[in-house]
Structure 1
């Protein structure tokens, strides 16, 4: 039995409380609890001064104002030093004429990355994967996405995901495939025959079948 199997790491899952941390960033020390009352997109990147990660940081900054309108903050992480983060952010600002406004955790001891399962040894034992955790205002994990080192993330999908999760939280509904704000949402299936019959005759619903109905918010 390998050492890894003897000491398995318990990875966070959707619905779990987000693992607590206090960490150094290029904006000073931050704790997970600092974000209570707001939503948080916590993301990791493999390394500073790398091509794909640089394009992602520019793209994350571009969506940051839209996320803040959704009461959502951004927090990056990599296994690089704080000095590296400072130098890289300055380099991005010089090369792309864009100011990176969100903090980046300097996780040299891998403490936060290990808590969140951001390191995948079969891909890289020394770098964090491209992980995205969406954490709600009560510090509960609502969504997790992983990308390989070679694939940059789609920022529009991250914004859409936050919008969908907040719509679900605020209205107790679900969102169908390819949903975007303004589209109809999916309502829970009826719990009784009577409710199914009533819904079929209710013009406020788009009833496809008894178990699948949509409505406008």
Structure 2
């Protein structure tokens, strides 16, 4: 399953300057490479190289050290949609705080990276309105269920049927929020879609590019 994370960004440069600054002054261990521009989307690769040391003893009990170079990297995008800029991380495999600090330094601290909140159930309703293809809510995770003044609960519901119309019957409280929802689609996208409250998502579907366009439209309309 491919994993993604979205942020809203604002910077004091035009986008071409951003691309130039991000991809300049790389060193041997950390850096950003600009890959390509496609329409209003700019694709980059962030890399981090580490030297790992392994120590072992030979048959004569002499100690030896082997040094290995390990590279971690992931793709990210900066794209514009209806006068807003978004940062999209694709399968990030390292500490996100470090990455955000790194690009902030590259841009001379003239960038604001804002977290986004997503209402997974609102997205579910949007998809069923916007796309001529049925989505089924197979898993819903509900958090901060206020049972009483001293008790807060978390509930995960799983079903082979669509949970849309009857999940609330299991929640005996007025205050709660939906933290995660898993949808299935057997028609246009043929797969599984995971959406979280922190605007991260997982996709195991066909036509991924088409879906991401629909999803970003939702973000713009609901930010």
TM-score (norm 1): 0.22
Higher relative strand content: 2
More helix by share: 1
